[in-house]
Amino acid sequence: MSAGTPPFAWEGPVMLTLCINPADLIQGWHWNGDRYVAGTSWLAPFTHPALEHHHYTGPERTTIVIRERRTDIPPTVTTPEAWDGPIIMVSTTPSGRVTIQTSASVVVPLYTTVDGTGVIHASWDLNDLRGRTPSDRLNEVEVARLLALWLRYTPATFLDDVVRLTERATLTIEHGRFRLLFPDDGVHYAPREVQPGADVIAAFDQLLSEAIEHRVYDPDAVLVEVSGGADSAQVALSLTARHPGRLTAAGMLLPGLIGKQQAFRRDALITGRFAQDVTVAALPPMHPEGIRATRQTVSPYEEPYTEATTAMLHAAAAGRQATVWSGIGGDEMLALSSSERERLPIGHGRDVNGWLSNKTVALLETADEGLPPVSVVNEMTLLAFGYRAPMMLRANCWPMHPLADPALIRFGEWLPVQWRRGKRLARARLERAGFAPEVVHPAVSENFADLMRTAITRHVTPWLRLMLAQGGVLLDCGFIDPDGLTVTLDRIEAGGYVERDAELFDLLMVEQAAAAFS
């Protein structure tokens, strides 16, 4: 247990599902041992010992504060700006106004809608809002972003009537109408020069150790995602240095030669450091027993490997209320700026696929309009938080992402380009720790490309053929060019698969979600 932290006997629910009828708010809120209740309205989020909640009632409003526990901030701090971690504040007035605020670290998304009767619904799981929206209208610009992989972190979701509450935002709902207030741009920094004799690796080590130390967790209920990659390895090194032989490693194992290399690297990182290692096979998306193949509702904001990740979390947690520690944020912490890159990453400016319609391509012209201010945490990191969080919460786990700590973000921005290019800092730390060159610099890139190829050629292509024959939401709404899609499928079936054909899976995800919510 972290020094100075209280015993783990917390039973309150947090992070966050609610159903509020504004007419109930004149009665006031009370805690019934399971949830906050006001008449027929309720606020009953997630239960986990890493989280806490507080209830403040004044003459003009009631505020419920839900936050990740920290060791370095007084518990009396109630404002999102002053809490260095995930926090949500829900304030209500007897007149029926509801206000929701977030901090800079939105590790769990919050989706909100108002149904046709004026009742407010919000949840970290977009699927909870199915059947709650007043219409099934699609947000056409967001659909275009998803199909083209021009991904942006915005309040817009693929449904017109559902809002994602972005970082440091304030959402007010009154008389059934949304009003979003945004903060100023997050403060960011330019690279600096390293002082002569400064130990960059030691500074990184210290900052990561402090980011871990400030969090509240039970070491005997810690799962560390150890993929074999450089980012998760940084977190694993720091955590096992604090708690040698007590933690659980977890991972998805890739098939084939890449999997053999991955297993070697994972073994080097895990042996002698962890109490146990729990692994599952990384199954291809849309495999016949998976939730998508059986047409269960899956949000388009969840990762493609939901089935395997869920199996890994349940197996590793083994019924415990675990914290799951990831390397998310490491890519962005050591990312090159647009002026330093040789080519554009995923997002704005990418060439569009031939199966996108002229309508979709035209919509992309407005893809960067109406964006929120520059976030404190990189927007791709925030999106990654949202992709992983629902799976973790369903497994009764809470996500921890120390590489996205504000101090580490600032440190990464200060680093000269030579420390960021090729993740030199992360690899140099592994070298200093004594790992073999095969661990520090793998011969081949470990990724899911082969698994996705299997998914597209075996499962997705037949599914899309059926959609072309029978119709679908995206076809009917004009987002997909059927001729262009037919040409692509013909090429794949003739053995001409190329890596970018993996983006057909994104088409499938959006189509399935649109059909489920319509």
Q: Examine the pLDDT at 138 and tell me if it is beyond 50.
A: yes
Is residue 195 included in any domain, yes or no?
no
Q: 277 with 395, same domain?
A: yes
Q: 426 with 289, same domain?
A: yes
Q: Examine the pLDDT at 1 and tell me if it is beyond 80.
A: no
Q: 170 with 204, same domain?
A: no
Alpha helices in 191-286 (DSSP H): 200-213, 230-242, 256-270
Within 8 A by CB and 6+ apart from 493, the residues are: 461
SS (H, E, C) 233-245: HHHHHHHHHHCCC
Cα dihedral: 66, 69, 75, 76 (round 10): -30
Is residue 120 included in any domain, yes or no?
yes
Tell me, what CATH number does 208's domain have? 3.40.50.620
Is residue 347 included in any domain, yes or no?
no
CA-to-CA dists, residue 102 to 91, 120, 152, 485, angstroms = 12, 17, 18, 41
Joined tokens for residue 399: 């996500």
Residue 340 has what pLDDT? 72
**Residue 475 and residue 308 in contact, taking contact as beta carbons nearer than 8 Å:** no
pLDDT for 198-244, tens place per residue?
999 999 999 999 999 999 999 999 999 999 999 999 999 999 999 99
Q: 439 with 456, same domain?
A: no
Q: Examine the pLDDT at 487 and tell me if it is beyond 90.
A: yes
Q: Examine the pLDDT at 423 and tell me if it is beyond 60.
A: yes
Q: 479 with 442, same domain?
A: no
pLDDT for 439-484, tens place per residue?
999 988 888 999 999 999 999 999 999 999 999 999 999 999 999 9
Mean pLDDT to the nearest integer, 376-386: 94
Is residue 382 included in any domain, yes or no?
yes
Within 8 A by CB and 6+ apart from 326, the residues are: 225, 232, 235, 388, 399, 400, 401
Within 8 A by CB and 6+ apart from 384, the residues are: 328, 329
Percent of the chain with pLDDT over 90: 79
Residue 130 has what pLDDT? 93
Q: For residue 329, count CB atoms less than 10 angstroms from its CB and return exposed for 0-12, middle for 13-18, buried for 19 or more.
A: buried
Q: Examine the pLDDT at 43 and tell me if it is beyond 90.
A: yes
If pLDDT is split at 50, 70 and 90, which confidence band does 291 have?
confident
Residue 347 has what pLDDT? 57
Q: 172 with 62, same domain?
A: yes
Give the separation between CA 397 and CA 250, rounded to whole angstroms. Answer: 13
In this predicted structure, which of 281-285, 415-419, 457-461 has the lowest mean pLDDT?
281-285
Final residue before a domain boundary, out of 415, 446, 477: 446
Q: 400 with 491, same domain?
A: no
Residue 85 has what pLDDT? 85
Residue 293 has what pLDDT? 79
Final residue before a domain boundary, out of 181, 209, 243: 181
Is residue 369 included in any domain, yes or no?
no
Q: 283 with 424, same domain?
A: yes
Final residue before a domain boundary, out of 424, 446, 468: 446
Tell me, what CATH number does 110's domain have? 3.60.20
pLDDT for 161-206, tens place per residue?
999 999 999 999 999 999 999 999 999 999 999 999 999 999 999 9
If pLDDT is split at 50, 70 and 90, which confidence band does 348 have?
low
pTM: 0.92
Q: What is the DSSP string of 333-380?
A: HTPPPTTT-SS--SSTTPPPPTTB-HHHHHHGGGTTTTPPPPPSS-HH
Q: Examine the pLDDT at 9 and tell me if it is beyond 60.
A: no
Residue 2 has what pLDDT? 34
Comparison of pLDDT for 289 and 251, the residue scoring more? 251
In this predicted structure, which of 3-7, 80-84, 92-96 has the lowest mean pLDDT?
3-7
If pLDDT is split at 50, 70 and 90, which confidence band does 336 have?
confident
Is residue 301 included in any domain, yes or no?
yes
Q: 145 with 110, same domain?
A: yes
Give the separation between CA 374 and CA 388, rounded to whole angstroms. Answer: 22
Is residue 187 included in any domain, yes or no?
no
Q: 55 with 176, same domain?
A: yes
pLDDT for 48-59, tens place per residue?
999 988 888 888
Is residue 358 included in any domain, yes or no?
no
The amino acid sitting at 166 is T
Q: 413 with 329, same domain?
A: yes
If pLDDT is split at 50, 70 and 90, which confidence band does 5 have?
very low
Counting the structural domains of the chain, the total is: 3
Q: Where in the sequence is the domain holding 56, given as residue range(s)? A: 13-181
Alpha helices in 122-277 (DSSP H): 140-148, 200-213, 230-242, 256-270
Q: Examine the pLDDT at 343 and tell me if it is beyond 60.
A: no
Q: 503 with 415, same domain?
A: no
Joined tokens for residue 45: 């989020």
Provide the mean pLDDT of the chain: 91
Give the separation between CA 279 and CA 269, rounded to whole angstroms. Answer: 14
